[in-house]
Structure 1
Amino acid sequence: MDWFSAITGFDERVGYDEVQRRLSVVDGRLRSTHSDRAPRVGTLELVSVAELRARGDATGGAAGGPNRTGVVVGEARGLHRDPRFEGALIQAASQFNLLEMVGPSVTPEAGVTGYAHDHTQGPACALATGAATIFRNYLVPVDGVPGQRSDRQLDGLADLGAALAAATHRPIGSLWTMSNGYALVTSGGLDAIADHLAGLGEEDLDRLRGLLRIGLVTDAEVTDVTEREVLVSQAYCSGLPVRYSDHPDHPGWEPFARLVLEATYEATLLAAIANARRGVSATVLLTRVGGGVFGNRSEWIDDAVARALAVVPDAGLEVLTVRRG
């Protein structure tokens, strides 16, 4: 039995529309007409960096002592079951639609069962909280309609894109095409964005960082654990897909990719502070967002993590980078 069937009691191959008919969310739990299981989907927000900053200001900011940093070795899906990380915030690499497509041509209608064949970090996190993943594909409201489809998807880059389009006097479609969560930036778009960013001061750059959105899932059930209810929170984040473009060596990638990564890691640590302040866990597990096949350079990622830690130096967090053994 595959993971989807283990949760829902039926095979996802019945088709997208039929899956939607058989599933619902009642009191925060995924309900299926074919199963007695009712795991928690958690609370999903497509939240901006600016909104997370404002929440921190409203609650008095971070004041928990110096952050502690370290490395944890393990496989991402298994770490969700580790008692040390119950309640923790776990960062997951995804696309900008908060899903785990293996390429820009794969649509939400293809379903989520196949995530089990992708052994990278993001899909592993998605499998660990299967009910929340099913919700993000089939039931999350998008423009008031349930579920993501090929022509209707969440987009964590939309607000930043609108600002860059206005600033460069170009339609967003000339900057990039968003294809199933992959921002396929044009060569001309990279030129225009890089030129614009080069002329900005830190205050204006920070305003742009504030427009990026991540997928924050609070209190999702770890569906791999069936003997008791185990909850974690997750931050679904994407880097720019440098290597998926026709011009991966364009010099304009660096300033844009760095901006996105800086916003991504700041958002994750701000979400971790909120998780700690509500008394759940002060631990956050980070991954290499934008690394691997996406082609963001290691120094871009390292610098973004260092910047985020400098933004919240005394949050009292335990910040662990996940390294697969």
Structure 2
Amino acid sequence: MQENWFSRIVGFDESAGPDAVRARLRVEDGRLVSDASERRPAVGTLTLPSLAELSSARPDSGRAGSLAATQGEARAMHADPANSGALIQVASQFNLLEMVSPSVTPDDGVGRYEWDHTQGPACAMAAGAATIYRNYLVPVDGGQGQSATRQLDALADLGAALSEATGLAPVELWRMRNGYALCTDEGLTAIAAHLRDLGEEELDDLRGRLRIGLVSDAEVTDVASGEQRVSQALCSALPIAYGANSTHPGWEPFARLVLEASYEATLLAGLANPHSDRVLLTAVGGGVFGNDPSWIASAITRAMGRVSGVEAVVVSYASIPAWATRISGDYPPGSLFG
């Protein structure tokens, strides 16, 4: 048996293939059950809310909120008792998984996350039962689990609206490959032209169609007691750096729209979280995805100006970037915003 984080939870590895894995797993009373392990970790509750849905259910809040910046390792922060009940934003793909490239499918399994040293997979492994559920057991299009041909798509509703507005079929706007939205030149040009003509209310309508994965009250499987629970907001950005057209000027307006929607949705989910006011944010779309840090900073600032009542913290794995320090100074502890 190949030992990794997956096998340590369920007692077997993924070498027999996805169908064999599914046959040995089930969920009972919200807990992952394996035929090879006595562990029964809680998978949490997975939903796929849109920004519009989160906004319409927004609770009233006159509470003060704040924004800070800190350095930390995401997996360890899940296990920190100070973050019990908190909402942790996860840089994911639009299928709510952690593919290292567009060529990797859910059929390839999740044990491989152990060798991807970025913070998205670290978060996925920290709440391991929830991740196993998303890959192998979540209902999708009448089937069980995600596969090479059957996947969740948090960008689909926004894509449908842009398709109708531009007159281009969704596949002409981008090809969705294992959670990566690989935009075409034609699609980027058309989307940028459309966004340029819209007012703020119309842009908000589009933002409202973006969905995020929301895992509520999942067990932190790294904690042996099973008592540590967190929630996760699974967000993706556009994979600008993954194509030959990474310098296309149409990326910026579309990418910024997605980032703005993702951060606002995350803060709204944090506001509705009954267990904690704490929201740990990450630089969604930064690094290898190629989204400009200034776009990320702007999206966080915009979201903070629209959602009050959360204790938000931008978490950086290495040193704290200057942009995070700068924007956190705009919302010190005890400030009231939104």
TM-score range normalised by the length of the shorter chain: over 0.9
> 1:45 maps to which residue?
47
Q: 2:37 aligns with which of 35, 38, 47?
A: 35
**Does the 8 Å contact 2:45/2:216 carry over to 1?**
yes
- 1:322 corresponds to: 315
- Secondary structure of the residue aligned to 2:112 is helix
* Partner residue, 1:243: 241
2:286 is the counterpart of 1:291: yes
Distance 1:258 1:78 in 2: 30
* Aligned pair partner of 2:114 in 105, 113, 116: 116
1:263-278 pair list within 5 angstroms: 263-275=261-273, 278=274
Residues of 2 paired with 1:215 and 1:228: CA distance? 23
What is the correspondence of 1:71-86 to structure 2 with a 5 Å cutoff? Answer: 71-86=69-84
Instruction: Give 1:249 shift.
Output: 0.4
Aligned AA (2:280): L
1:20 counterpart residue number: 22
User: What's the counterpart of residue 202 of structure 2?
Assistant: 204
Map of 1:253 onto structure 2: 251
Tell me which residue corresponds to 2:323.
Answer: none
Output one character per residue of 1:65-104: Cα deviation in whole Å (capped at 9) or x when no partner.
2x11112221100000111101100000000000000000
Report the residue type matching 2:42 in the other structure. R
Q: Whole-Å Cα distance in 1 between the matches of residues 162 and 219 of structure 2?
A: 37
Q: Structure 1 residue 13: deviation in Å?
A: 1.1
Percent identity of equivalent pairs = 61
Q: How far did 1:64 drift?
A: 1.3
Name 2:170's counterpart in structure 1: 172
CA deviation profile, 1:272-312 (whole Å, cap 9, x unmatched):
0001xx2x100000000000000000010000000000011
Q: Distance in 2 between matches of 1:228 and 1:202?
A: 45
Find the counterpart in structure 2 of residue 63 from structure 1: 62
Q: Match of 2:331?
A: none
Corresponding residue number in structure 2 for 1:309: 304
1:141-182 CA-partner distances (Å, limit 9, x unpaired): 001211001111000000000000000011111100000000
Shifted more, 137-146 versus 259-268: the winner is: 137-146
Q: Matches of 1:206 and 1:200 in 2, distance apart? A: 10
Q: Tell me the CA shift for residue 12 of structure 1.
A: 1.4
Any unmatched runs of 5+ in structure 2? 319-338
SS of corresponding position for 2:79: coil
Distance in 1 (CA, whole Å) between partners of 2:172 and 2:14 is 37
Q: Residue 125 in 1 paired to residue 123 in 2?
A: yes
- Tell me the distance in 2 between the aligned counterparts of 1:172 and 1:228: 43
Residue 103 of structure 1 corresponds to 101
User: Partner of 1:152 in structure 2?
Assistant: 150
Q: CA separation in 2, counterparts of 1:245 and 1:109?
A: 23
AA paired with 1:24? R
DSSP-derived class of the 1:265 partner: helix
**Letter aligned with residue 74 of structure 1:** G
Structure 1 segment 210-249 matched on structure 2, within 5 A: 210-249=208-247
Output the amino acid matched with 2:117: H
Q: Is 1:89 matched with 2:87?
A: yes
* RMSD, aligned CA: 0.8
Per the TM alignment, residue 257 of structure 1 is displaced from its structure 2 partner at its CA by 0.1
TM superposition shift of 1:245: 1.4
Q: Secondary structure at the match of 1:162?
A: helix
> 1:324 and 1:115 mapped to 2: Cα distance?
17
In structure 2, what is the Cα distance between the partners aligned to 1:120 and 1:42?
Answer: 23
- Aligned residue in 1 for 2:333: none
Deviation at 1:227, TM superposition (A): 2.4
Q: Secondary structure at the match of 1:14?
A: coil
**3-state SS of 2:270 partner:** helix
Give the structure-1-normalised TM-score.
Answer: 0.96
Q: How many residues align?
A: 316
* 8 Å CA contact 2:46, 2:213 repeated in 1: yes
Counterpart check, 1:9 vs 2:7: no
Q: Aligned AA for 2:12?
A: F
Distance in 1, Cα, partners of 2:227 & 2:96: 24
Cα separation, 1, equivalents of 2:228 and 2:246: 41
Q: Which moved more, 1:18-27 or 1:144-153?
A: 144-153
Q: Deviations over 1:247-278 (max 9, x none)?
A: 00000000000000000000000000001xx2
- Where has structure 1 moved over 2 Å in runs of 4 or more? none
